[in-house]
Amino acid sequence: MPVFPEEPEIHESLPGPGVPFPRESDAQALHAPATGGAPTAPTTTAAAPLPVPGPRSAPRPAPPRADRSGPPRLIPKPGPAPRRPAPAVPQVEVRRIAAVPAEALERADGTVDQLLDSGRNPGEILVLTVGEAHPWQQHELSFGEQRYWAQLTEGGDVFYADAALTRPARREVVVLVVNGGSPARAAEAYTEALGRATALLVVCGEAGPAAASSAGAAPGRPVKA
C-alpha cells in the first residue's frame, strides 16, 4: 500500500511587512463557526465617561486701565453766590401829641391809659422821659435798684425809665415824654426811642425831625393802639 507523505501543517503567522494587522473583531469572525443565521455585528467597547468639571472659578479681575494721556481737564471756578435779600425791617408807626414840657407828663399818662383801655398789655409799654424822671420811676427806685431793674426783666408792667437808658430794652410801644432838656437832647432821645419800639412810638412834646409840624397838633390828641 503506498504511503502518502503527510501534508505540512499550516500555522498562523504574523502578517508580513506592509500587511495591516487584523482587528480583533476580524479574528473573532474568522474563528467563529459558520452558521446559517445572519452575520453578527462586531461588538464595540463603551467609551469611558468624560470627567465632570468642578465649580467655575471666580472671573479674573479686569486689568487696570491705562492713564489717559493729555492735559488735565480744567474745572470752572464757581461764580459769586447770589445775594440774599435783606430781611424787611418792620415799620414803626410814629404818633405825635403836641405838648409843652410842663404838660408832657400829663399827656403821657393819658396816652398810657388809652393804650391799656384799648387792650394793650402793660408789659408791652415803655415810657421814657427826656427831663426829670417820671414819678412812677422815682417810686420804684425807692425800693432799691435791684427791684427796679427786675421789673424790666420780668416785663409784667409798664416800665418807666430815663431816655438815656443804657440797658437793652425793646417793647412794642414806646412813649417818649419831652418834659425838659435841650432840643439836641430831645432829638437824640427821639432816635433812641425809635430804635426801642417795635410797633408804635408816641411822642409827647417836640422831638425828632418833624417836631415843627407837631406844633399844629391838638393838645391831648387821642392815641389809638
Q: H or E element: which one contains 167?
A: none
Note whether 103 and 219 are within 8 A (CB): yes
pLDDT tens track, the chain, 225 positions: 555 555 555 555 555 555 555 555 554 544 555 455 555 555 555 555 555 555 555 555 555 555 555 666 666 666 666 677 665 556 899 999 999 999 999 999 999 999 999 999 999 999 999 999 999 999 999 999 999 999 999 999 999 999 999 999 999 999 999 999 999 999 999 999 999 999 999 999 998 765 544 444 444 444 554
Q: Note the pTM of the prediction, 2 decimals.
A: 0.57
> How many residues are given for the chain?
225
Say which CATH superfamily domain 93-216 falls into. Answer: P-loop containing nucleotide triphosphate hydrolases (3.40.50.300)
Note whether 64 and 185 are within 8 A (CB): no
List, as own/partner pairs, every contact residues 166-169 make where C-beta atoms lie below 8 angstroms and the sequence separation is at least 24, other chains included: 169/126, 169/196
DSSP secondary structure letter of residue 85? P
pLDDT digits (tens, 9 = 90+) for 119-161: 999 999 999 999 999 999 999 999 999 999 999 999 999 999 9
Q: Where are the alpha helices (DSSP H) in 71-182?
A: 104-117, 135-141, 145-154
User: What would the grid cell of residue 94 be?
Assistant: 410814629
Residue of 69, 95, 110, 103 whose CA lies nearest to 197: 95
The domains of the chain are located at 93-216
List, as own/partner pairs, every contact residues 207-211 make where C-beta atoms lie below 8 angstroms and the sequence separation is at least 24, other chains included: 207/130, 207/176, 207/178, 208/94, 210/94, 210/96, 211/183, 211/186, 211/187
The phi-psi region of residue 208 (left if phi > 0; otherwise alpha if psi is between -120 and 50; otherwise beta) is left
